[in-house]
A and B are shown apart, each in its own frame.
Chain A
Amino acid sequence: MSVTEREQRAFIAAAAADARVNVELETEGMTLNIGPQHPATHGTLRIIARLDGEQVVAAEPVMGYMHRGYEKLAEVRTYPQVTTLINRIDWLGSFANEVPFILAAEQLMEVEVPPRAAWIRTILFELSRLANIALFLGDMGVQLGALTPVFFAFRDREFVLNQIEAVTGGRFHPNFDRIGGLKDDLPKGWIEETRGVMVKMRTFCDELEDLLMGNEIFEARTRGVGVIPADIALSYGLSGANLRASGVDWDMRRDNPCGLVYDQLDWKVWTHPDGDSFARYWVRLQETREATYMVEQMLDGLPAGPVMAKVPVIIKVPAGEAYVATENPLGVMGYYVVSKGDLGPFRVKIRSASFNNISVTPWVMRGVYVPDVITILASLYFILGDIDR
């Protein structure tokens, strides 16, 4: 379905709702409350949809059920303590949350991390991506009524979580990144195990491709559903795979690696011109496979040396402002850190990916049918902690 056709349909739906009569059928307007507790909403996102028959006239997400006030809490904590908080923002890819904050603090302190620390950081960053997106790949299936993919996803994500746990000691909240490097080095035998896991993850991608791509129901429910053209995606600040699925060739990993080692790897940024739910799924599937190759390259090229730079015991960050954003599993995540030379930040603005990604839903859900609401939410892929912070 082209964009103009979609806009046309949205216009018809809006006009029909105003006249309280559908162009085809005599229908009544009603308000449907989806959530906050609903299996299709990953967490506690509530959507109030105004319907006309089976068409959505207006949809309004209601957030705040999980607002934890991290920006305020960060102001009364020291820099090393903040990582414990921000671990909980995107809880499926926790390690990736810590990295941009630590990088921002390192920029202000003008600390350079040893090469080995930067490489291990990037490896763990990509493992977080694998753990996070693997769940999306299965979850998208289950939201459309295919149960098998989600079992595969939970089964294979466990291998990645085991690898993260082996290094950091935490499956979900590693709290492993430190200003100046990492808490510890890799355990013995980890590199070989991880290679095996990467092969397993590629098999997982192939399995899902076999299961869903080309499946008639899957294609019918995702192709042309929730089309977001590139200019809309840009003005709403969409990022990550959602933006690349709208045909914008932009990836922070390639364009601004910011201290991570992506510029030393051989990899490709995947984009898709369609901008629909299928494109978003397809891009994430390709990125998962690409991430496994990236991890393998990094395991090959891992330099030797220390994993921690020399930093003061008590960390005081010089006064200044820094903004560092990285390409997290969910999209661009950035921390705007204002320091006044204290033990803790003066102000932290957390730019989380899902907040912007979900802000497009009132636009994209106008005129769609009720089952498509679920498809669109699933394909935009958000984590509630990443919206509410």
Chain B
Amino acid sequence: MTAQTTTRTTASRDKAPRPKSLASFLEDVKRELPGELIHVTKVVDPAHYDVTAIIKKLDALKKFPIIIFDKPLNLKGQISDIPLIMNAEISRGKVQVALDLPRSASRVDIAEECLRREEHRVPPQLVSKEEAPVKEVIKVGEEADLTKLPIMRHHEMDGGPYIVMASTVKDRKTGVYNTSYHRMEIKGPRLTAFYSSPRHLWRIFKDYEDNGLECPVSTVLGHHPAFNMGACYQGPFEVDEYHIIGGYLGEPLRLVPSETFGDAFMVPADADMVMEGALIPGKRMVEGPFGEAPGYLGPQRYNTSLRYEVRAITYRRGAMIQSIITPEGDKPWLDIAREGAYLRRVREAVPGVKAVCKSGRHAHYSIYISMKKMAEGDQGRAAAAAFTFDHTKNVFVFDEDIDVFDPTDILWALATRVQPQRDISIIKDVMRGNMLDPSLGDEIKTSAMIVDATRPLGRPYSPVSKCPEDALARIKLEDFVPREILDRIPLDRTTYWA
């Protein structure tokens, strides 16, 4: 492919509704969550941890605004004309805006909404290059240069700058598209080392590789958060995940032919930026270390790190490049789609399941389930269902009165409803774990644990002490502690029982 840059303006769509994009989301946030979007106008160097440190310091203040870095340095050390955006999905409020949910939507409501959207898939819509904002600037061949982008080095000891956004491949036999998150280390202007664990993308790549073929691949470097949430979906291999993403967006994902493979491989038309190329058969690369989702550095690898040759980078005018992981390596709130997936599985086994907590550092390999137990053994069935998915290692099952999103509630139930000898079941290391779990003694196999913190049905159990409901309904606090006094009492987050 010869080096070439093409620029143009997208054809007007005056009467059509505007497709969802990162820009449309930011407009929604400005309207719905004023104050949650800030610009950093000073020059920052993302490849030397400036961005990581700024976010870490805001984290310490419990502040998680969307941050647009207007003047980030690219990997050549020059001020980039492409801003870097962080934290677009981090917080319940932003996810509510992304999914058009009311501010009152609880975490369980959001997980249920993810389930609903996964069930109401929307087929994609094909558009021409002229209609695709992502084709406003097209750089192919040597003009496609990753070192001209503001790419972050996220953590100390990372092997280099990393792209962490969702990548898509297409199964050769079924034609379905699979989208998932893979870290990739920048190795050159048009080369990355792409880490792949043995899941759907690996299976698709191996089919190309075993037939001596290049595997077409694209990476979306910025899009509406609903796209990024849909890309977290994990389901049956045969499901086309562009349809799932359409479900998350609530509208068809508009697709346009890629520069490299034409209409044999389609890419999102309304992305801010798409990078496309091929995973090369028979080649592996040294890649890592990298600070991974469990909060630990994943070691340098070779056998599972693929050679991703970049053939084109296309973007809209005014595009931003996005990174979605925190300084700790995880993707809080973005991963909430998985909570919905667990909810679906465990409810199929036990209809009385009320909530599942799967998202958060404490829940990376552990699942917390609350349920109304109808029969003894329901808790074991729910746990077994959770083990069939993802990388589950520990399952904690609670009664419905326990808020599985509240660590104090969880620890209280573990202390008061569990007899270790009776209620903890250990399963030996017969399960596929996650290669990123630093506790593994094996490369991938893991043991597992079920902790039954439900109260027995067959005998009386001491009731939970509480204030009577009628007293709570009868007493109006402001009748006894006037508002002006109440407002002067400082918040106290040190008092454990509240």
Q: Do A and B come from one complex?
A: no
Residues of A within 8 A of B (CB): none
